[in-house]
Amino acid sequence: MDHTPRTAAAVDAAREYGPALLVALAAGVGAVAGSFAAVGRLPAFVAAPVARLVVAVTPDVVVRYSILLLGDVGDSIAFLLALTLTALLFGVVVWAVRLAATAADGDRLDATVAGSVLALVAVLVLAVGLAGDATSAVGATVGAAVPLTLAALAGRGESPDAAARRTALGSIAAAVGLALAGGVIGTRRTVSAGDGTTTVPADSEVGRLLDLARERSLAVEGIEPLVSERFYEVDINQVDPDPDRDEWTLSVTGAVENAGEYSYDDLTSMPTEHRFNTLRCVGESLNGMKMDNALWTGTPLMQILEDAGLQGDYVMLRAADGFYEEFSVSALRNGFLAWGMNGADLPRGHGAPVRALIPGHWGEINVKWLTEIEILDEEMEGYWEERGWHGTGPVNTVAKLHAVNRLDDGRIEVGGHAYAGTRGIERVEVSTDGGDTWTDADLSEPLPGDDVWRQWVYRYDSPGTQHEVVVRATDGTGTLQPEDERRAFPNGPSGWVSRTVGA
C-alpha cells in the first residue's frame, strides 16, 4: 500500500500547524513563568491549584512508593508535573483561540495578530480563574505576550517557510528564557511571614535556652548542633498555604460545651512557654536526614480544650491545606500550639501562623497551618491513616550515624543523633567490629524537655583495616531499639544503623 500521500499530508500539516503549536506552548510556559515571577511559590501562583489536583488524584500506592523510593525527588517530580500541566493548559487555550481567529479570517497576518490579542485576553481570564489574584494574572499575561509578540514579528518580510523556521526557533528560545528568568525572580520573591532572621536578646528566656543548646552541643564535624540549622519540611503540598496572621482564626467545634474561635492575638496573649521539641519524619530512610530539633514558643493545647469543656474522647486537628489528623484526648495532654520557632515568628514552611506539636509522635501528624480543633465522640482515621500509614503511633527509637572523621592523632571519630520520642535516650552503644563487641558512646547533656534528641560521639584507634561500625540506642525505659531493619511503611523505619569505614 502506498503511504506517500498520507505522509505528504502529515508533513504539510506539520508545516502549517507546527509553528503555531510551538508558539502556543511557548506562551503557556511564559504564562506560568510570568505568574511565578510575579508572586513566587505562593497560593496565588497559577500552578498552585493544579498542584493540589495532582496531589488529590495521585493513587495512594503511588504516593507511598514515591515516599519510599524517591523521597524529596518525588516531590520535585510532582511539582514539575503540575507546572507542565499548567503550561499545557494555557498553551491549549492560546492555540485554540488563535486557530479560531485564523479560520475566521483569510488574511493570515491580521488573523494572527487579532488571535494573539484574543489569546492574551483568554490567558488573563484563565489566570484569574486559577489564581484569583490580579498580580499573578497580569504576570501570566505578560509572560504569554512575549512569545506571541515574537511570533507576530517573525513573519514580517519573510517567505512562509523562513517565517515558520524563525517562529519555531524564537518560540523555543522564548520559552527557555522565560522559564529561567521566571524561576530566578520567583524564587527570590517567595517570601512569607516569619521566614526572616531575628536577633534574640541574650538575657531573654529564649536567648538563655538557645545558649544552653549551644553549650551542650558536641563539637563533632558533620553533625548538626542540638538546635538544627536546617530543619526539614514535609507536608502534602507542592505550594504551601500562606494564611494572613491578622485574618487567621482557630475554631473549636464538635462535642464541647463552649464552641469558640480564637484570633492570633487571643492565642498569643495566653500563658507562653518555650519548649525544645524534636520531629522525625515517618517516611524517611533509617539513617536519613529528616530528624531535627528546635526551640518552639507557644501555649499548651489543653488550655484550649479545657476552656471549651470537653465532651468527647477524641480530637481532630484540621489545617488550612485540607490536612487532618485525629488523636485521643490523652495523647494531647502535653500537646502544644506553637507560633514561634528559635526566637522568631513561626516560618510559613513550618505552619505559620500556628501549628500543633504532639510530643512522641511522628513529625507529619504535628499539624501545620492549624485552623480547627474538632472534638469527636467516636474515633476516626486521619489523613495518613486512611492511606495505610500509622503516623500517630509512638516514634521509633533510633541512633543515627552521620559523621565519620579522621582526627589528627590518627583516631577515628564517629557521631550522630539519637532519639526515642518522650521515652528519652539513656545510652548509645557503638561496635567497630560489625556487632561482636560494644562500647558506650559519649552523650550530650540532655536539654530541658520530654521529647528531645541527644547527640553522641565515639572515638577509637583505627584497626588499620576496613571495618563495619554499628550503632544502637537504649531509650529511657531501658528498652534496646530493635535490631531487625524495617522500611518506613507503615510504622516508620527501625533497625540498627551500620556503615563501612575504610582503614
pLDDT (0 to 100) of residue 14: 47
Mark the ranges of the chain whose per-residue pLDDT is less than 70.
Answer: 1-18, 104-112, 154-165, 191-199, 202, 391
Residue 320: per-residue pLDDT: 97
Which residue type is seen at 445? Answer: E
CA distance 140 to 134: 10
Reading the block at residue 297, the C-alpha cell is 514558643
Cβ contacts of 470 within 8 Å, gap of 6 or more: 430, 431, 434, 435, 496, 497, 498
Phi, then psi, of 67 in degrees rounded to 5: -65, -45
Torsion angle of alpha carbons 183, 187, 189, 192, nearest 10°?
150
The residues, any chain, with a CB within 8 Å of residue 180's CB and separated by 6 or more, are none
Phi, psi at 249, each rounded to 5°: -140, 155
Whole-angstrom distance, CA of residue 229 vs CA of residue 232: 10
Task: Considering only CA atoms, give the Rg of the chain.
Answer: 28
CB neighbourhood size of 318 (10 A): 20
pLDDT of residue 186: 87
Exposure b/e, 484-502, CB count within 10 A at least 16 = b: eeeebbebbbbbbbbeebe
- 90 phi and psi angles, rounded to 5 deg: -65, -40
Secondary structure (3-state) at 373: strand
What burial class does residue 462 get, using C-beta atoms within 10 Å of its C-beta: 0-12 exposed, 13-18 middle, 19+ buried?
middle
Closest by Cα among 433, 432, 424, 458 to 443:
458
pLDDT of residue 347: 96
| Residue 129, number of CB atoms within 10 A of its CB | 11
Q: Which of 445, 501, 250, 251 is nearest to 351 (CA)?
A: 250
Q: How many helices (H) and strands (E) does the chain have?
A: 10, 19
Domains in the chain: ranges and CATH: 12-189 (no CATH), 205-387 (3.90.420.10), 398-501 (2.60.40.650)
CB 74 within 8 A of CB 100: no
pLDDT value of residue 194 = 44
What's the pLDDT at 171?
A: 76
